[in-house]
């Protein structure tokens, strides 16, 4: 298809598509004449992924370039490619504190991961993110207990293992696996948060007779 058809099929304006081509986010079409290139399914799939990263993941173009590079590097194992996208989706960190309090919280996080038997890269930004949340709870005088954290972790592992991982199409095109990961992580994460608040409201009504 021509660029005008690619635009119609994807719903993305031609100037935006040209911008993605210039930035190297979208591979060039097949040149069929000096001023004419042909695009295919592969380009449509890539545009879907870019849109998910931009609109759902709200990632800056620099992060998107890194993820696209991982998608295009066929030598990179799928787990590592998904990790690239996963880490980019982590909340922007406050500057990583290098103090005793943070180190102590990080130790608690490490202990939790170990006691759960989880395999997590020790450099994962998510570990520091969790440590920062624990520090804030301490500051507010409402520390999280080990028992609470275990309870949450067990529940979530059940969710992920029984229900979430099977939705990611590992065998299809690399783009589709990443797109599915982004939607699963961000939008299902939001749905989860909203459903938790709805459950809280309902349970509060039941307990307090509202």
Please identify which residue in 1, 3, 37, 78 interacts with its own copies, judged by CB under 8 A: 78
String marking each residue 42-71 x if it binds its own copies according to CB under 8 A:
------x--xx---x---------------
Map 141-201 to HEC letters: CCCCCHHHHHHHHHHHHHHHHHHHHHHCCCCCCHHHHHHHHHHHHHHHHHHHHHHHHHHHH
Burial per residue of 59-75, b for 16 or more beta-carbon CB atoms within 10 angstroms, e otherwise: beeebbeebbebbeeee
Report residue 58: phi and psi, to 5°: 50, 45
Selected binder of its own copies within 119, 122, 123, 171 (CB under 8 A)? 119
Binding part of the chain for its own copies, among 2-10, 16-24, 58-66, 113-121 by CB under 8 A, reads 113-121
Q: Is 92 in the site for its own copies (CB under 8 A)?
A: no
Contacting its own copies within 162-181 (CB under 8 A): 163-165, 170, 179-180
One of 29, 79, 97, 102 touching its own copies (CB under 8 A)? 79
Tell whether residue 126 is a contact of its own copies (CB under 8 A). Answer: yes
3-state secondary structure of 43: helix
Q: Could you say which of 53, 82, 105, 178 contacts its own copies (CB under 8 A)? A: 82
Please work out the total of residues on this chain that contact its own copies, with binding judged by CB under 8 A. Answer: 77
30 vs 118, beta carbon nearer its own copies: 118
- In the chain, the DSSP E strands lie at 30-33, 36-38
Where does this chain touch its own copies (CB under 8 A) — which range of 28-36, 38-46, 60-68, 159-167? 159-167
In the numeric block, which tokens belong to residue 64? 């998107």
For position 105 contacting its own copies by CB under 8 A, the verdict is: no
CB neighbour list of residue 80: distance below 8 Å, 6 or more residues apart: 70
């Amino acid at each position: 298809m021509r660029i005008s058809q690619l635009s119609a099929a994807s719903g993305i304006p031609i100037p935006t598509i040209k911008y993605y081509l210039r930035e190297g986010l979208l591979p060039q079409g097949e040149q069929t004449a000096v001023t004419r290139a042909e695009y295919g399914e592969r380009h449509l799939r890539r545009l879907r992924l870019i849109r998910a990263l931009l609109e759902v993941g709200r990632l800056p173009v620099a992060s998107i370039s890194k993820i696209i590079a991982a998608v295009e590097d066929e030598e990179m194992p799928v787990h590592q490619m998904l990790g690239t996208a996963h880490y980019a989706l982590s909340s922007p960190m406050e500057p990583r504190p290098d103090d005793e309090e943070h180190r102590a919280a990080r130790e608690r996080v490490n202990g939790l991961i170990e006691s759960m038997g989880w395999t997590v890269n020790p450099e994962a930004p998510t570990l520091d993110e969790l440590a920062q949340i624990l520090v804030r709870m301490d500051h507010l005088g409402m520390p999280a207990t080990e028992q609470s954290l275990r309870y949450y972790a067990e529940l979530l592992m059940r969710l992920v293992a029984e229900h979430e991982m099977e939705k990611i199409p590992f065998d299809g095109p690399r783009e589709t696996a990443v797109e599915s990961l982004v939607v699963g992580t961000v939008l299902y994460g939001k749905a989860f948060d909203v459903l938790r608040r709805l459950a809280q409201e309902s349970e509060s009504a039941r307990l307090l007779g509202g």
